[in-house]
Amino acid sequence: MALKDYKDIIHRCFRCGYCKFTSDYSYLGFNCPVYSKYRLESYSPGGMMWLIYASLVKGELKPSKHLSQILYSCTMCRNCSQECKFKFNEDIVNILKAAREEMVDKQLVPQIVGQFLTNVYDYGNPYRELKQNRDNWAENTEIKHYEKGDEFLYYVGCVGSYDTVSQKAARALGSVLLKSGLPFGFLGSREVCDGNEVDMLGEKGLFEFLKEENTQIFKELGVKKIVTLSPHSYNALKNNYSNEFEVFHYTQLLRDLVKSGKLDVSRGFKAKVTYHDPCFLGRYNNEYDAPREILTAIPGVELVEMERTKENSFCCGGGGGNFYTDILGSGKDSPSRIRVREAHDTGANILAVACPVCMMMLEDALKAEGLEDELAIKDISEVMNAALL
């Protein structure tokens, strides 16, 4: 919906601030990553609602570059929608998104956001990488392209396809799927960006275009079931694409495969593991169990929880395109560094993730914190791969 459709709701924000917290007001810190970093009221969900109302509804303030900077610092982690006590809470992230659509229309988006969108438009990915390079991650593996009749399309997404850190996860998942014996394949150079971040950044037109492109390929190839590496892709494909495809996040599929005995994890993996819930799997899609069920099924894994976990999980700071735009920036108080410290505090030696965006964000943060000797970031697919017989 467009911002005008919310015009009777936006001013209802009371600026009471429940949205900044976890459900139990964790003392560890605020759970809105933006507020957590900037600590000015303008950079809080309520502050943003008031600014959107003042600038884009009531006309009390002129929409500005600074407003745009504030709005685009939001990672769309959905903590605010979850914690706001009012009936309109579900609308908050939608309002934030609709406000960004206005910024796109008014050509006020930060330059780096414009660059992200242009790159996706021109190249089908934010990195200005050539389409044919979308195959590279699978080089020297037996993971093959999707062929008609394969049961699953393995949708990798931009980050898993191009980011060198996250490619490890893409390969590990491919390897696990191979071991499961499931007929599957990936699209490689025929895959285009799923558009989740484009949608979150407010470029509705481009999102529709990407959706069409992907849907057309899926249909052409007779795809029925899709398994995604990234929760971001999962969110877009499951909730915003046509419902003719059955979409799984890989943790859901692997959990089922372990349960049905198609994957045998009895080799085990000895580690103390803590798990970071990705926003687009957890708060957006309410999947908190599958990743944990996988980890606890692996002999030798001791799962320990961080203080902020499940629906109270603290975003890594990479959502809403921030993994690329970096509007939230680095520094000691950046969400990813806070999160890595929180993981370290559990005494775990592995910080398990289930999202390539979280993986790259947290990996960078780990280095910045100098904790590489004490903690390693691993995707659940990597842990699983190591545990398979």
Applying CB under 6 A, the residues found at the interface with ligand SF4 are 13-19, 32-34, 45-46, 48-49, 74-80, 84-86, 92-93
Residues 79-138 binding other proteins (CB under 8 A) are 85-87
Residue at token pair 């992230």 = 93
Length of the chain: 389
What is the amino acid identity at position 53? Y
Beta strand spans in 78-125 (E): none
Which C-beta is closer to other proteins: that of 48 or that of 362? Answer: 48
| H-helix or E-strand spanning residue 65 | helix 65-73
Give burial (CB, 10 Å; 0-12/13-18/19+) of 208: middle
- Interface segment toward other proteins; rule CB under 8 A; list 34-42, 187-195, 250-258, 264-272: 34-42
- Which of ligand SF4, other proteins, none interacts with 70 (beta carbon under 5 to 8 A by kind)? other proteins
Q: Does 39 bind other proteins (CB under 8 A)?
A: yes
Number of residues in contact with other proteins, rule: CB under 8 A?
37
- Which of ligand SF4, other proteins, none interacts with 33 (beta carbon under 5 to 8 A by kind)? ligand SF4
Q: Does 47 bind other proteins (CB under 8 A)?
A: yes
Quote the CA–CA distance of 199 and 186 in Å, as a whole number: 23
Binding mask 229-268 vs other proteins (x if CB under 8 A, - otherwise)? ----------------------------------------
- Which of ligand SF4, other proteins, none interacts with 50 (beta carbon under 5 to 8 A by kind)? other proteins
- Interface segment toward other proteins; rule CB under 8 A; list 10-18, 213-221, 265-273, 317-325: 10-18
* Binds other proteins (CB under 8 A): choice among 17, 195, 317, 319: 17
- At residue 384, the 3 state secondary structure works out as helix
**Tokens representing residue 158 in the block:** 């931009």
* Binds other proteins (CB under 8 A): choice among 6, 32, 34, 50: 50
283 neighbors 314 (Cβ within 8 angstroms): no
Nearest approach, Cβ of residue 71 and ligand SF4 (Å)? 9
Nearest approach, Cβ of residue 175 and ligand SF4 (Å)? 34
Nearest approach, Cβ of residue 100 and ligand SF4 (Å)? 11
214 neighbors 180 (Cβ within 8 angstroms): no
Q: DSSP letters along 290-328, please? A: HHHHHHHHSTTEEEE--SS-GGGPPP-S-TTTHHHH-TT
Q: Does 317 bind other proteins (CB under 8 A)?
A: no
Q: Does 328 bind other proteins (CB under 8 A)?
A: no
Nearest approach, Cβ of residue 83 and other proteins (Å)? 10
- At residue 186, the 3 state secondary structure works out as strand
Rounded to 5 degrees, φ, ψ at 193 are -50, 135
56 neighbors 99 (Cβ within 8 angstroms): yes
203 neighbors 104 (Cβ within 8 angstroms): yes
**How far from the centroid of its chain's Cα atoms is residue 148's Cα?**
29
Binding site for other proteins (CB under 8 A): 8, 11-18, 20-21, 24-27, 38-42, 47, 50-51, 54-55, 58, 60-62, 64, 66-67, 70, 85-87, 307
